[in-house]
Structure 1
């Protein structure tokens, strides 16, 4: 490593990279510093290489990841006054639960790149309130080699499956060109009236000019109406297909994608399709038309007067330079606005979902105060964007106004000096000048908007570049018998996290009844997620019906599995819809049969609307036990070959639990249950205990385990 490189004379820039997941601030910090030192990486690429769990990253985890990226690291405990001695940029531990990048240290201010909030500037006193004293220095190791791990999103990725939009776009372009041709002819009216009709006192010519241009106005209005309609049709077609492609991809992402993100943030990302849609429907067409019109108008201006044309073009170039100078600050403020709005939306959604909990805790005022603070942050961010927008408009107005004054002055001198420039030509020139200025400024503004699209594309990239769970699945169905085998399977949630399960060997044959027991947090639900393909093993292999578990086999497996999970939800609809899993060909006989088997039919028929009773994810009139039995009925409706219950009877009374346990015991299918209570455990043919990352079989009645006493209880 050269001395120049050490002294940072290479003009490197520290980017701002915001975190998408709730616990990936450390990874975002690594991405920023990696880009600064020459790695071509982004957050999506690092996430694919070094996945983190919901617990986030520890300082040790960050050191392990940066070591793999070719950095030498040094963890330090530093006093505030000694921060100017630290090699920058460095990762700083923040608020005891967060990581940020310290960019620069001055006597009066410290600049921080926060993965949650963007660029922040602190006084030493403010900084000390957040700083925990822990700093991680990073420097290029001798083995450092730049790597490429970027997964950028291209605009074309949004319309990969779109159809029928080329004809709609062609219509818009043709009508736009026709409209602009009419617009270019209109300024000639004033020149013809002043230089021809008035100069020759020809009333008939004046009448002809008026009638001709009057007809032109009607034609222009008709073309404008047709263009507006074509543009609206094109916009709706584009919106429908882009949003459809995005939601289709989103719903097929792995379950851990949703577990690591806030719902409000995901919804906010989907909202980024609107600016992109507007840019394509109006921006692309507008840019093409504005570019053509500006060029044609410029040629016409030079035809009238080279001197005046140069004045007009110089003003447009000045305006363009000022816009480019404001762009970095505008981009930063817009990103802060988007992030602030996402945080506010997430907080509000959580508050609505937890309304009952907040009432029970008596914390409505506290939650309201938290929302008000976030709303204030969002409002302030919007005001900051507004200030820059106003400044931009002010500068543009001043430049354009001065341009008009200078043009009229110079044109007046040309007329007075008798240099072949008439009053009618002045009126026409001013019209074409206005057209050129408007088109050129619109073109500059639109090009700047296209650059701002990178903000929205980067937000959508978190969705689009994440591989779908069954991206390699084929359309050929695989036969499912209900046989599953785990061979030396280990699992960890993050690349640097400790193992949750280790060397698990388990074989379940068709028709087996297996129960899994263990302490809370021991890995039982994780094991079930492995058996459902929701999590993939870190090591080892899973076989389904004697074949290695592939995407298509997991798809076929889930088609034949009935599941009641701990976090299952009812969806908005009727009880019949929910029990039938919103089957398009709902079979009411099967719905009733499943409800009878789940011991919930009698409860349903006592309701006024019976099976048409409306329920939803936010709540209903169902009790906890009724809701769990409805979920069990939903699993049974599928007529599964494998039934998996994760504490599927935990909310039931003893009588109903015994009835359902008898039903499950008599079913001639593969059954896998996680349970703590004896009703299910004592009926299982094999019982396993999960603990200490291991899985071991427990013999019923052996008396060597607390489980034996539990299942033997009357």
Structure 2
């Protein structure tokens, strides 16, 4: 690669974004369409194009949001055109958008308006070494195993077709062994025909080489299917989970939910492998059964009856096993939740000297899980023993049947039948084990059913995309989490105009966080309206709306990584200059400059690299980095000393955007245009700080602070 090819793609995109005209955007959209069609993604194009202020990365993000798919930036490895990396959106060194589409013989370069070219070493140098990969999403509504299998087929259709063809040929080749053996002992050996013996041996050797070659193709195809399916289905599942409404996550403990989502990978792997193995075994079984029915039709009918009985017994054992498997997976989820709670509370456990109690709790769950596993495994062993017994009995009855036949059955025919019979029984055992394995997945599927059945936000309708100006209003809101609980919000109303600074003051437990959840669309009120710029929240595209809000929740945390990545994120359209600008607004820039690595300083939420006050200001810088139209702070001042609080207070007051601050510290709201006091689900005493500072309701908070 040349130095020019190593240019950062974001720099190229910004440069092109400032120069591109409508024609360039049209070519870019055409390249996106080619990539999306190859990835089986349905694109929805923005209604307005030709905006020269938008970079191509901005435009790609808009297309991805409209079409509900994810993308990520990747770096192309050396000789990338020799490997299947999937369809990619890339750019030439001249700045043209292009599509890189894999074919059976490598990659093709598609530049809109030009003929597609096969990519080799020479023209690969004209493509920048960074590109974008599109992740095909799953449907937003209810889905099932059928949809997952269909998704896998769309991702690996060519490999599946190749595998089916190979398995069909292998099943046919499997008949050569019994047919050749029968011919050998019925014709060649009795007549001492050495030429025929040599021909049969050569046929066996050729068959072995062909079978080995096809099995190699089968293994490679299986590996490709597994690799493609695993990577893409996991990305699609997590993309789907990230689009779920917030109330979905409150139904489960974190560890249990993580276990349920991870189990989808088990379903995908087991189903894919079991289906393909059962297909291979069923083909061998079918061909062998035809041969047996042709040779000994009466015994073949008895054999079928025998196999049906064996299948019924095995199936009954598997159904009995499901009860233990359901319990095993349920306890596994509970155990994972317990472990997560232990790890997150380890300091409290040590301070309270409760290590022995926690160990006993874990052991109780672990022992319960292992007992269920033992009971399930015991039935599996019984099933294998029964299969072995039936295999021996069937062989015994075959010999018994042959002994009682007339002398018309010669040695060659018997050996032919015995070889075909052995092949059939091995295929049957493999087929039935695959079916039983799929049945055993039922408890896993039952646990993942909530993930399949849940609907994503904004799935059912095309909601409006509002370019937010900055006003919001709550009108006659009534809300409670369940029917049997008291209302948390009762006829709650307030309004914030564009550019206004509003404070909401309230003690712990009065519903401040619930109020914020209603504003963000995490919860839906039973009565009333939430309005942004006079448009109802339920009619808006929530993802687009939230992208225009700067929010710091009470539970907001830093991500492991650099300060820069914490402020602007990863694969962001924002630059380091945007991060410094946000840091200056949050009064954290001087602190970052004093750190040896500056913006590249690595931090985590629980590390001692930054103080609690610095942590809060980094979170505020993150909220301000994307230049939101409304800034919402939920107890973002906790843990700050008076000096830091004063700096942050001045910062918030100096902003020209709309600001909503929810806190229990009245001194922070001295510059607010309007202050509301939240009490018993209602907002009271609207006014400025000077108007409220001597009221009884306001003085309660000062007493709390002083105490």
Which TM-score bucket, shorter chain as reference? 0.7 to 0.9
Contact 2:271 2:438 in 1 (8 A): no
Instruction: Please say which of residues 313-322 and 268-277 is displaced more in the overlay.
Output: 268-277
Relative to structure 1, the CA distance from residue 200 to residue 618 in structure 2 (aligned partners, 3 Å threshold; closer, same or farther) is farther
Alignment match, 1:539:
527
Shift of residue 433, structure 1, vs aligned partner: 0.9
Q: Which of 418, 424, 448 in structure 2 is aligned with 1:436?
A: 424
Q: Deviations over 1:34-76 (max 9, x none)?
A: xxxxxxxxxxxxxxxxxxxxxxxxxxxxxxxxxxxxxxxxxxx
SS of the residue corresponding to residue 481 of structure 1 reads coil
Question: Deviations 1:112-160 (Å, cap 9, x if unpaired)?
Answer: xxxxxxxxxxxxxxxxxxxxxxxxxxxxxxxxxxxxxxx9853123356
Where does residue 320 of structure 1 map in the other structure? 311
Contact in 2 for aligned 1:517/1:674 (Cα 8 Å): yes
1:396-545 maps to which residues of 2 (within 5 A)?
Answer: 396-414=387-405, 417-418=406-407, 420-472=408-460, 474=462, 477-545=465-533
Matched residues in 2 for 1:474 and 1:355: separation? 46
Give the whole-Å Cα distance in 1 for the aligned partners of 2:429 and 2:459. 45
Deviation at 1:171, TM superposition (A): 0.9
1:156 equivalent to 2:150? Answer no
Match of 1:257 among 237, 248, 260: 248
The aligned runs of 1:619-638 (5 Å cut-off) are 619=607, 621-638=609-626
The separation in 1 between residues aligned to 2:403 and 2:266, in whole angstroms, is 44
Partner Cα distance (1:684, 1:207) in 2: 99
Task: Determine if contact 2:501/2:659 at 8 Å carries over to the other structure.
Answer: yes
Partner of 2:370: 379
| Contact 1:482 1:545 survives alignment (8 Å) | yes
SS of equivalent residue, structure 2 residue 189: helix
Q: Deviations over 1:528-568 (max 9, x none)?
A: 11122222111111111011223534333311211111101
Cα distance between partner residues in 2 of 1:472 and 1:152 = 11
Cross-structure match for 2:550: 562
For residues 536 and 664 of structure 1, what CA distance do their matches in structure 2 show? 29
Q: CA 1:248/1:611 → structure 2, altered by over 3 Å: closer, same or farther? A: same
3-state secondary structure, aligned to 2:174:
helix
Q: How does the TM-score come out when normalised to structure 2?
A: 0.75
What is the deviation of 1:472?
4.5
1:225 to 216, 222, 226: 216
The residue number in structure 2 matching 1:697 is 685
CA distance in 2, matches of 1:462, 1:161: 19
Distance 1:389 1:626, change over 3 A: same
What secondary structure is seen at the aligned counterpart in 2 of 1:339? helix
SS of the residue 1:199 aligns to: coil
In the alignment, which of 217, 233, 238 is matched to residue 229 of structure 2? 238
For the Cα contact (< 8 Å) 2:551–2:631, is it kept in 1? yes
Residue 390 of structure 1 pairs with residue 378 of structure 2 = no
In the superposition, relative to structure 1, how do residues 551 and 181 fare at CA in structure 2: closer, same or farther (>3 Å)?
A: farther
Rounded Cα–Cα distance in structure 1 between residues aligned with 2:150 and 2:199: 53
Determine the C-alpha separation between the residues in 1 that align with 2:615 and 2:353.
Answer: 26
1:210 corresponding residue in structure 2: 201
Q: 1:266 to 1:671 in 2, by over 3 A?
A: same
1:488 CA displacement: 1.1
* Rounded Cα–Cα distance in structure 2 between residues aligned with 1:517 and 1:229: 64
After the TM superposition, which of the residue ranges 697-706 and 654-663 deviates more from structure 2?
A: 697-706
Distance 1:678 1:543, change over 3 A: closer
1:645 maps onto 2:633 in alignment: yes
For 1:9-158, list aligned pairs within 5 A: 154-158=144-148
Residue 268 of structure 1 corresponds to 259
Change (3 A) 1:372 1:548: same
Distance 1:310 1:473, change over 3 A: closer
2:582 is paired with a residue of what secondary structure?
A: helix
**Alpha-carbon distance between aligned partners in 1 of 2:238 and 2:606, rounded to the nearest angstrom:** 22
Where do residues 343-362 of structure 1 align in structure 2 (5 Å cutoff)? 343-362=334-353
The structure-2 alpha-carbon separation of the partners of 1:516 and 1:591, relative to structure 1 and needing over 3 Å to count, comes to same
- Alignment gaps of 5+ in structure 1: 1-150
Structure 1 residue aligned with 2:597: 609
Q: For the residues of structure 2 that align with 1:214 and 1:695, how far apart are their CA atoms?
A: 88
Distance 1:648 1:473 in 2: 35
Verify the 8 A CA contact 2:465 2:545 in the aligned structure 1: no
* Conserved 8 A contact 1:312-1:433: no
Matching residue within 238, 252, 256 for 1:247 = 238
What is the CA–CA distance in structure 1 between the aligned matches of 2:676 and 2:201, rounded to whole Å?
A: 94
Matches within 5 A, 1:326-341: 326-341=317-332
Whether the 8 Å CA contact 2:155–2:229 is kept in 1: the answer is no
Rounded to whole Å, the distance in 2 between the matches of 1:709 and 1:374 is 47
Rounded Cα–Cα distance in structure 1 between residues aligned with 2:594 and 2:503: 34
1:683 aligns with 2:674: no
Deviation at 1:441, TM superposition (A): 3.0
| Partner SS state of residue 381, structure 2 | helix
Q: CA 1:486 to 1:526, structure 2 compared with 1: closer, same or farther past 3 Å? A: same
Aligned counterpart for 2:175 among listed residues 177, 184, 195: 184
Aligned-residue offset at 1:177: 0.5
CA distance in 2, matches of 1:709, 1:286: 72
More moved, 286-295 vs 252-261: 286-295
- Residues 369, 619 of structure 1: alpha-carbon distance in 2 compared, 3 angstrom cutoff: farther
Distance, in Å, in 2 between the alignment partners of 1:161 and 1:306 is: 43
1:194-242, Cα deviation, whole Å (9 max, x unpaired): 2222211222222221112111100000000001111111222222332
SS in 1 for 2:504: strand
CA RMSD of aligned residues (A): 2.4
Please report how far the alpha carbon of residue 358 of structure 1 lies from its aligned counterpart in structure 2 after TM superposition: 2.4
For the 8 Å contact 1:580–1:634, the answer to whether it is kept is yes
Question: Residue 52 of structure 2 aligns with which residue?
Answer: none
Measured at CA, do residues 286 and 507 of structure 1 come closer, stay the same or move farther in structure 2, by a change above 3 Å? same
How many residue pairs get matched?
561
Say if 1:688 and 1:697, in contact at 8 Å, map to a contact too: yes
Q: Distance between the aligned counterparts of 1:309 and 1:499, measured in 2? A: 72
1:550 maps to 538
Question: How far has the Cα of 1:680 moved from its partner?
Answer: 1.5
Give the Cα separation in 1 of the matches to 2:606 and 2:412: 70
- Are the equivalent residues in 2 in contact too, given 1:523–1:693 (CA < 8 A)? yes
Change (3 A) 1:368 1:319: same
